[in-house]
Structure 1
């Protein structure tokens, strides 16, 4: 092998080793943070945690994680059943020790958000149906993008068969609204007003496991997603945990300023 080729091979090997070390460092910190969260609350499994960015070790120099993401699946919420809850922070300041272990007490962040995913089972329970289908209005592919209107199909109580309606997804004064506006299909004898009302839904404060008032709602990938967010706040690890008393009008304290 010629000298230039040996040099290229050596550089490639070194890059692979650095990438592996960076991945290992991130995985160690993520596992540490996930374990701490899992010990703090009774979850069906250890939550998924993602820390930092593409070059995780750079956080040692910058003192920041570009992002913190925590996702907990099958969280039991009164009135909703099992849902997926995700919390995250953007541009979070952390000490070097946190980069190594994933453990920190508090962090100042540019943005903190919480998102709850309502799949067909959870949303169907709220609507009183057990055969709900949710899809995007425009892009009906399985990985359809974010849209604020959706198509819902189900068999409401007393209907002879499934009905399909177009629904607007809105948030007004912190209240989540599903507003049916068009009957696409309905069984014979079903009045349009009755069909639309069967898919109408209002979720007031405290009904969803969010740390704050909801600010965004959309449909994607066969589920309805509702998010809340706050800007320029300080958060602790506990703020990333799913709210245990959501659905009963309570909730964990909102992140501090």
Structure 2
């Protein structure tokens, strides 16, 4: 009797493991079909096959119904051009992330294809710019982004704080010239991040003198404003997953993240995963002067 029960238990475990393995295989196949459909959608800005994660168990049922509870997407090194030194010949790169809920495939297909369209319950997206991308957009080659630890907190910035994030007081360090023809000086400033007219606004408010690693170069009073303006800009419209309107901006460790407001309900297709703004501007005009909306947050003409 004991042997029979033992054999039965082993058989059930083997069957459960086998079923899980089969279901995992179907899930991986569905994820790969989604990723390949995005990377073959004809948009050359998607350089690498995106990372796709499909939530829900069992996956077989989701595939059979063409209904997925949630899909997470990360597209890395997406091309960005249009300002600073980000050109078609040498584009900057950003990471796009999106989370779709209540995804329902239209039509008889059960796996995703390049031509697949689908309905969603909601969508949230973001674009992440690392220090290199931010520096190239601002025209500051050696720029670094840092998120200072919480103030007046013992042990601030330790593992217990996780990945630090701020919307104001973000630390930027880089070498700039106060005026054309003048030697560059390496300085550290604090900036505020916001969204103005659908675009990321970086506005330098002061020089940094806190405990985080920084440049302690002293800038003469008469040059302080000119130097701060070098770190201030309204950047060109950034690519957003599925065209999510930018809602807020924040730092995340050494990156800057723009979060989209997302959509509630609607229909999507693979071909519109990346939506880029068509209106861009050059940070420096021919006469070396910035347009009046450059630092005050107003929209470009």
Global fold match (TM > 0.5): yes
Q: 2:195 aligns with which of 161, 171, 178?
A: 171
Q: 1:73 aligns with which of 76, 101, 112?
A: 76
TM-score by length of 2: 0.69
Q: Distance in 2 between matches of 1:56 and 1:141?
A: 39
Q: What SS is found at the alignment partner of 2:120?
A: strand
RMSD of the alignment, in Å? 3.0
Alignment partner, residue 153 of structure 1: 173
Q: What SS is found at the alignment partner of 1:11?
A: helix
The structure-2 alpha-carbon separation of the partners of 1:45 and 1:135, relative to structure 1 and needing over 3 Å to count, comes to: same
Q: Is the 8 A contact 1:112 1:233 kept in 2?
A: no
Q: Is the 8 A contact 2:166 2:252 kept in 1?
A: yes
Alignment partner, residue 235 of structure 1: 268
1:130 counterpart = 2:163: no
Q: What SS is found at the alignment partner of 1:176?
A: strand
Any residues of structure 2 matched to 1:179-190 within 5 Å, and which?
179-185=203-209, 186-190=216-220
Report the Cα offset of residue 123 of structure 1.
0.5
Q: Distance in 1 between matches of 2:56 and 2:171?
A: 35
Q: Deviations over 1:134-193 (max 9, x none)?
A: 122336569614432322221223565432222221123423211222321441234443
1:39 counterpart = 2:40: yes
The structure-2 alpha-carbon separation of the partners of 1:96 and 1:26, relative to structure 1 and needing over 3 Å to count, comes to: farther
The structure-2 alpha-carbon separation of the partners of 1:3 and 1:116, relative to structure 1 and needing over 3 Å to count, comes to: same
TM-score by length of 1: 0.79
Any residues of structure 2 matched to 1:209-220 within 5 Å, and which?
209-210=239-240, 211-220=243-252
Aligned length: 244
Instruction: Identify unmatched segments of 5+ residues in structure 2.
Output: 87-91, 151-156, 210-215, 281-301
Q: Is the 8 A contact 1:52 1:59 kept in 2?
A: no
Q: 1:112 aligns with which of 123, 129, 136?
A: 123
Q: Is the 8 A contact 2:132 2:144 kept in 1?
A: no
Q: 1:53 aligns with which of 41, 56, 62?
A: 56
Q: Is the 8 A contact 1:165 1:182 kept in 2?
A: yes
Q: Please state which structure has a larger fraction of its residues in strand.
A: 1
Q: Distance in 2 between matches of 1:230 and 1:31?
A: 24
Q: Is the 8 A contact 1:84 1:117 kept in 2?
A: yes
Q: Is the 8 A contact 1:60 1:96 kept in 2?
A: no
Q: Distance in 2 between matches of 1:176 and 1:68?
A: 27
Q: Distance in 2 between matches of 1:61 and 1:39?
A: 24
Higher Cα radius of gyration:
2
Alignment partner, residue 254 of structure 1: none
Instruction: Identify unmatched segments of 5+ residues in structure 1.
Output: 251-257
The structure-2 alpha-carbon separation of the partners of 1:58 and 1:165, relative to structure 1 and needing over 3 Å to count, comes to: farther
